[in-house]
């Protein structure tokens, strides 16, 4: 009896499992294939990007480091990403405490505001920023780009910090205070200490979001400011420089490493 009832269920289960497996495999392949392809192509030789490559070697990598074209954009990207991460934390940290630990009136509105950059289409947002920045003479300036990138990075930073702060119970601070710790000692020794991995993680995510950003820089960078993503876009506009495969690979590996680090830091507390 039970066998009869179980059998059809098991057949459906098996079929759906195969189908599900295929779907997952297809999705993963679709997501990873371009990345894998770039990785393979970066070790090719010759003047054109083609598959399979004419030969194998580290030509593309040596070219990046010897040509001198990539150095300045890379440095600028690092610089802007660093200030963006610092700035996003400077805005995000107090914001998160106001949202989660205070009774500030209108804090829901503030939270909505912080997440606005996610909701608004990025090119529309960039057009709006262009209008504002041109009034303020911020077009083509580093601090202008940093400001735009901070707005862009803020949602991620706020999410990382607030999910972590929500897990740190306010009672911990109160417990420390009843045990004789001053408010500042309880805050630094307990709350901030527990939040520290999330702060570092938020820093990395802020850094990545700026380092990888190509839309705002195109709208707001003017002629003079060329970050790494901008340089890659520019270089494929007229002719494809094969070296970008090597650059893309490095970028990919670097960002993946930072992402993994940031994620590991978030989980570290548990």
Positions in the binding site for another protein (CB under 8 A): 169, 171-172, 174-183, 185-186, 190, 193-194, 269-270
Tokens of 77: 């990207």
Beta carbon nearer to another protein, 194 or 255: 194
- Nearer residue to another protein within complex by CB, 143 or 269: 269
Q: Do the beta carbons of residue 142 and residue 81 sit within 8 Å?
A: no
91 phi, psi to nearest 5 deg: -85, -45
Task: Kindly tell me which of 123 and 182 has the beta carbon lying closer to another protein.
Answer: 182
CB of 199 to another protein, least distance (A): 14
Please say which residue, 7 or 183, places its beta carbon nearer to another protein: 183
For the bound state, the minimum distance from the C-beta of residue 92 to another protein, rounded and expressed in Å, comes to 22
Residue 90 CB, shortest distance to another protein, in Å, is 25
Report the nearest approach of another protein to the CB of residue 158 (Å).
Answer: 23
Considering beta carbons, is residue 134 or 182 the nearer one to another protein? 182
**Residue (179 or 223) nearer to another protein, CB:** 179
Q: How far is the CB of 172 from another protein (least distance, A)?
A: 5
Backbone angles phi, psi at 56, to 5 degrees: -120, 145
Of residues 159 and 177, the one with the C-beta less far from another protein: 177
Cα gap 262→270, rounded to integer Å: 14
The burial class, CB within 10 Å (0-12 / 13-18 / 19+), for 265 is: buried
């Amino acid at each position: 009896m039970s066998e009869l009832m179980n059998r059809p269920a098991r057949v459906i289960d098996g079929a759906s499992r195969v189908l599900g497996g295929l779907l997952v495999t297809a999705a993963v392949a679709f997501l990873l294939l371009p990345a894998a392809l770039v990785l393979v192509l970066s070790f090719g030789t010759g003047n054109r990007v083609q598959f399979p490559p004419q030969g194998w070697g580290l030509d593309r990598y040596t070219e990046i480091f010897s040509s001198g074209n990539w150095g300045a954009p890379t440095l600028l990207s690092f610089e802007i990403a660093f200030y963006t991460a610092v700035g996003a934390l400077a805005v995000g940290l107090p914001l998160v405490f106001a949202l989660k630990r205070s009774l500030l009136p209108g804090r829901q509105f503030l939270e909505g505001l912080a997440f606005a950059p996610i909701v608004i289409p990025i090119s529309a947002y960039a057009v709006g920023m262009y209008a504002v920045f041109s009034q303020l003479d911020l077009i083509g300036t580093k601090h202008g780009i940093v400001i735009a990138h901070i707005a862009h990075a803020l949602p991620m930073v706020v999410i990382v910090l607030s999910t972590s702060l929500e897990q740190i119970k306010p009672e911990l601070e109160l417990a420390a205070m009843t045990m004789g710790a001053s408010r500042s000692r309880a805050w630094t020794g307990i709350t901030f200490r527990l939040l520290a991995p999330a702060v570092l993680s938020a820093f990395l995510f802020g850094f990545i979001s700026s380092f990888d950003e190509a839309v705002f820089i195109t709208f707001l960078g003017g002629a003079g400011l060329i970050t790494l993503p901008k340089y890659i876009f520019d270089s494929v506009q007229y002719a494809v420089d094969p070296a970008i495969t090597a650059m893309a690979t490095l970028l990919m590996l670097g960002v993946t490493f930072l992402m993994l680090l940031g994620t590991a830091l978030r989980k570290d507390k548990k």
